[in-house]
Structure 1
Amino acid sequence: MKLSKFWLMLVLSLSLMLILVACGGDDEDTSAPEDEPEQTDDGTEDDGDDTDADTDADDGDEGEEAGGPQQGGMITAGMYSAPGHQFNPIFYGDAYEANILDFTHESLVTLNENFEYVPSLARDWELNDDQTELTYYLEENVTWHDGTPFTADDVYFTYSSIADGEYVASGGVRIDYVRFLVGYEDYRDGETDTFEGVEVVDEHTVKFHFAEPNVTPEFRTSFPIIPAHVFEGLSVADMVDHPASRNAGEIIGTGPYQLTDMLEGEQYVLTAYDNYWKGSPKLDGITWRVIEQSVMPGMLERGELDMIAEPNGVPAADFERVDGLDNVTTFTTQDFGYQYIGIKHHHRTAEDVENGVVDPNNWVVNEKVQDVRVRQAMMYALDREGIVGGLMNGLGSVLHAPFPEASWAYDESAFTVYEQNVEKANELLDEAGYIDVTGDGYREDPDGNEWTLNLDYPTGNEVRERTAPIIVAEFGEVGIRVDMRQPRDAATHFEIVEDDNTDWDLYLAGWSLATGDPDPAGIWKSDNPFNYLRWNDSTSDELIELAVKAPDAFDLDFRAETYNEWTAYVTEQVPMVFLYSSDNIYAYNSALQDVTHRPTGIYTDSHLWWLDQE
């Protein structure tokens, strides 16, 4: 069956998670940058519209006519970049890793099609009147992939690991899940051996204690859980490279599938966990293959590939071809991530990178991009509508603000709109003192020195790769010289983005937006590890904190007004160049049944998927 595209009509909440990581929704939390997710991912992630395809996209009726869901069979799915080889949820960094973790690990609660929190590993919960205590009652029949029972100790261990003083130094970035809890700073700084923010009441009851009334308590407690019995006795620093974080067959979750085999950079095999607490999966497993994006549609047509999903799905240029295939079901929805040009406002010192320190007080300023008029000129120089229309066949939208249109925090009256205006770009650069002194068509800096901005970008995402030379050319039209350097694979690219003790000025990436809450602290607050821009701005920080500060923040109108003020400030300052948000085009073999379609994707209830092999 073919399903028409629909846009989100009523979304209660969105949040940036560094789904990891920086790539782009791609690479972009998880959280993550896209190449993060946030659970990108995962972090990262539904339409409030009652026409949600949960009902008309489930092909179970046909299966019932043929005798009901069938057991067995493997499907092959494709992603265009390799995971970064980190399969521990508290450390994962990109959307490709999230493609594995979404099937292997679970959270206490999850979001339904109306963006309401519903039970997952927790069967029920209670929140006290002032929203400082949240008590979860856990499912009692859940086991980890090695057969060990899941308990409240696992919840405590997960959150105490994120709160540990070694966490950020070891590459962890998801401190927003613990920084609001009681005793976080004392535990982080080694002043106490017990993390008071999470209390194990009994084997199947756990209570979260917030230092102040919290406006988003379920969101703050919705991170995937890791097994205490596997990592206990290890320092957080040693968890990063432990076999249970890296190696197929040793990664332990509670999800419907296990990562049992992999050929690094090429293939990742997920095998059904027969004792899954919601019921044994119908499929035998899912094999993820790393495939060049351009050949995926042909493989789907020939039956060599059964699914193209995260990140971004089918390339927009191939949508009509794929949508017309009789053996393929397509589903299109608005992406919860966006692509951007990152601007490195500061660099961390080599010493801080080595020690895993994120301290704005130590950062080294990048003078080449400090003048706000330069950054505004970059916005005016670009024909972003042309990118969406020309490279994406119109299947996307220009991004003007740090919130997508689906979010309740989005208000088109709050932000500056930068349409392409070469004359305006030239005026701003002239005012800033960037003049072409030598007559070669490129501007020198105010001191008369050569002014070249380096641009780095990753491979994998075809549209992003094709965007790079367009940016170079259009910046060149206003006299900004750009050195477009040789692209790297996504994992290497984003590792350098994070380390940033380099000569980088500009880079292409994306952020994955997870559902939960629009609080932008995760990637925008100056001292947050996911602030890969290394933008250090007190005004932005103050507004971000104000928007979640009780009691005022319990009023949604107050939060919306504060986010409007923050949005106006961000779009004036241009800490990054917003590019576009693409549509997600999911496609899969029509023989695959009971696939749930939601605005956030198609991975929900994957244990119910089955192949009609008649």
Structure 2
Amino acid sequence: MKKILSVFLGILIMVGTFSSCSKPSSNQGSSDNKSLNKSQIEIIQATNPEKLPQVARDRKDTLIVGTTAPNGTFNPIYSGSLYDSWVCSLIFDGLISNDAEGNPIPNVAEKWDISEDGKTYTFYIKKGIKFHDGKELTAEDVAFTFTAICDPNYDGPRTDAVMYLEGYEEYNKDKENKVKEVKGIKVIDPYTIQFTLTEAQAPAIWNFGYGILPKHYYVFEKGNIKKLKDLFLKPMGSGAYTLKNYKPGAEVVFEKNPNYWKGEPKIKTIVMKVTNANTVVQELTSGNVDIDAVGKPEMVELIKQAGFFNIYSYPSNSYGYIGLNLRDERFKDKRVRQALMYGLDRKGFINAYYKGNGQVCNAPVSPVSWAYTDEINQYEYNPDLANKLLDEAGWVKKEDGFRYKDGKKFIIHWMTYTGSKYVESLIPIVKDNWGKLGIEVVPELMEFGTLVEKVYDKREFEMYNMAWSLSIDPDPSGIFSKAQDVPGGNNSVGWVNEESEKLMKQGLTEFNQEKRKEIYKQWNKLANEELPYLFLSYNKDNVAVSCRVKGVNPSPYIDWTYDIQNVEIVDVK
């Protein structure tokens, strides 16, 4: 359930990890995720802690974490960006979490049972967990949270967590408020709740990891979910921290919850401070930021030279991509999408930008995943083939060097975000490579939050670039299913494919890991052929953690918010 740090990431798919590869099992961490190779995690220790700047030494009770600006969607059933998810991780707790290896572990639920047929999940909630206002968290709050996702007017990205519950369709399609409850959500007693699915699914346990909303605070009448959205900037959960202040584009400030059920946090104040590619090194080396992700190798080297940071380096469970609006007639033609892939020197870009810390991506699954395969088309840079495909698609190159079809020039308006060296390096390569094919590319830079709104909420774009921080379980339906092809859903590009839907369903209902792996191999081959995205890159995450901070140990499945109550600030001599 934990999200992953990454320097260039824009969007996040939350939840998910690998569940049992035999029949559905019960209770605490019974999955056996073998996708994480610990030898891939490199830790570069601080060499000169004594060089820690005085400004950091004097900051005794405040942790400052560098971040891209959150969007202000501070609600676990709505948050879409990685950075909003960090906010939610501090404020809210879910029924379950995961360990560093990606196995499910208890959280709000002290244990769980799964029925023999794999359809019914029963969670036993720990007693005495209090929300920030002192009221106890019960099964009613859990039921309220998941029923809210089922609401007819729910327009967030979490539908895949509830769409297979018994009674979901009846409740969701009921606009007249005749259906009062979701059949598959049953409160047994104040500390026991049961969820029943229409069919058994391998990764279903991870549908229950979202933060729990207090019913008494967020309560709304069915259909009036706007009331819940009106509280985005006034979140309340049961987490280790409460929101104190939010300055859009600048910072988010948190204060510790002294009554946190896992124990009083050791750090009084946490600040998520907005940094970017141009400021991150200065903010870190000056002592003004304690934790941040650094991308380019030369940045990592500067942080190493500072001497007072521990640097965690590991393959990111993520990938970068270019999204095309497949509702646009130009991009509906698969040959055009393939031409754009063949016509982009992705390897050259990655070698120049990452300098050995990245690799070309050809399918939407990370190399850290057990479902990864490289037995697919590699789309090596081939301008001749790209030109041939464009010719076949009817895009004719004229005397001016540009391509036309039906009298219209091939121009792509590319929405992207500011403050990113990745973007700054990618723009000239895309313009040059595709320009040689006869395609004009017009970049339009904007704040990341604005880009998210245009792409996911309004779906008003031709092309954009972002990245996904992935779940541990390889199920792709949370991004690419037909159900996500709605405003606010994750399938912003509008890729709906019958074979894809069939394979995704097979993957969900197969419990043998080797058989699932074969299903996802077929699915990745399909995605590689159809190109719902133009896949760009995998990278390494490099996370700098000040030597004054203890208890933060990021890795592919763990971010800095993990067990935040145990993180502490120590004196450095």
TM-score normalised by L of structure 1? 0.82
The answer to whether the Cα contact below 8 Å between 2:321 and 2:535 also exists between their aligned partners in 1 is: yes
Structure 1 Cα separation of the partners of residues 187 and 312 of structure 2: 42
Structure 2 Cα separation of the partners of residues 93 and 118 of structure 1: 24
Equivalent residue pairs, number: 536
1:431 and 2:392 are equivalent in the alignment:
yes
1:558 and 2:542 are equivalent in the alignment:
no
Q: Which amino acid aligns with 2:427?
A: A
Summarize deviations over 1:350-400 as a string: whole Å, max 9, x none: xxxxxxxxxxxxxxxx11112211111111111111221112222222111
Identity over aligned pairs, percent: 28
Summarize deviations over 1:445-494 as a string: whole Å, max 9, x none: 2x34322222111113321232123111111112222222x311001111
1:396 and 2:352 are equivalent in the alignment:
no
Q: 1:443 to 1:602 in 2, by over 3 A?
A: same
* Alignment match, 2:26: none
Worse-superposed segment, 382-391 or 458-467: 458-467
1:99 and 2:86 are equivalent in the alignment:
yes
The answer to whether the Cα contact below 8 Å between 1:458 and 1:493 also exists between their aligned partners in 2 is: yes
Summarize deviations over 1:104-127 as a string: whole Å, max 9, x none: 111111111221111111111111
Which ranges of structure 1 fall in alignment gaps of 5 or more residues? Answer: 1-14, 33-44, 59-70, 347-365
Which of 227, 241, 251 pairs up with 1:239?
A: 227
For residue 426 of structure 2, give the secondary structure of its aligned residue in structure 1. Answer: helix
1:336 and 2:296 are equivalent in the alignment:
no
Structure 2 Cα separation of the partners of residues 56 and 229 of structure 1: 47
* Alignment match, 1:613: 571
* Alignment match, 1:295: 279
Summarize deviations over 1:481-514 as a string: whole Å, max 9, x none: 2222x31100111101124453x32111112212
1:538 and 2:498 are equivalent in the alignment:
yes
Q: 1:126 to 1:54 in 2, by over 3 A?
A: farther
Structure 2 Cα separation of the partners of residues 386 and 443 of structure 1: 25
Q: Give the superposed CA RMSD.
A: 2.7
Which ranges of structure 2 fall in alignment gaps of 5 or more residues? Answer: 16-32, 47-58
* Alignment match, 1:597: 554
The answer to whether the Cα contact below 8 Å between 2:43 and 2:313 also exists between their aligned partners in 1 is: no
For residue 161 of structure 1, give the secondary structure of its aligned residue in structure 2. Answer: helix
Structure 2 Cα separation of the partners of residues 53 and 88 of structure 1: 31
Structure 2 Cα separation of the partners of residues 398 and 378 of structure 1: 15
Summarize deviations over 1:153-207 as a string: whole Å, max 9, x none: 1110110000111102xxx121010011111101112252111211111111111
Offset at 1:50?
Answer: 5.7
* Alignment match, 1:281: 265
For residue 483 of structure 2, give the secondary structure of its aligned residue in structure 1. Answer: coil
Which of 188, 191, 199 pairs up with 1:201?
A: 188
Alignment of 1:214-613 (within 5 A): 214-235=201-222, 236-243=224-231, 245-247=232-234, 251-309=235-293, 313-346=294-327, 366-413=328-375, 415-437=376-398, 439-445=399-405, 447-484=406-443, 486-500=444-458, 502=460, 504-515=461-472, 517-528=473-484, 529-549=489-509, 553-600=510-557, 601-613=559-571
Q: 1:488 to 1:305 in 2, by over 3 A?
A: same
Summarize deviations over 1:310-330 as a string: whole Å, max 9, x none: xxx444430111123221111
Summarize deviations over 1:269-290 as a string: whole Å, max 9, x none: 1111100111101111211111
Structure 1 Cα separation of the partners of residues 34 and 154 of structure 2: 31
Structure 2 Cα separation of the partners of residues 78 and 55 of structure 1: 19
Q: 1:53 to 1:286 in 2, by over 3 A?
A: farther
* Alignment match, 2:9: 26
Offset at 1:545?
Answer: 1.6
* Alignment match, 1:7: none
For residue 279 of structure 2, give the secondary structure of its aligned residue in structure 1. Answer: helix
Structure 2 Cα separation of the partners of residues 54 and 330 of structure 1: 8
For residue 560 of structure 2, give the secondary structure of its aligned residue in structure 1. Answer: coil
Structure 2 Cα separation of the partners of residues 279 and 500 of structure 1: 42
Alignment of 1:72-221 (within 5 A): 73-79=61-67, 81-168=68-155, 172-190=156-174, 192-221=179-208
Offset at 1:523?
Answer: 1.0
Q: 1:389 to 1:240 in 2, by over 3 A?
A: farther
For residue 408 of structure 2, give the secondary structure of its aligned residue in structure 1. Answer: coil
Structure 2 Cα separation of the partners of residues 265 and 128 of structure 1: 47
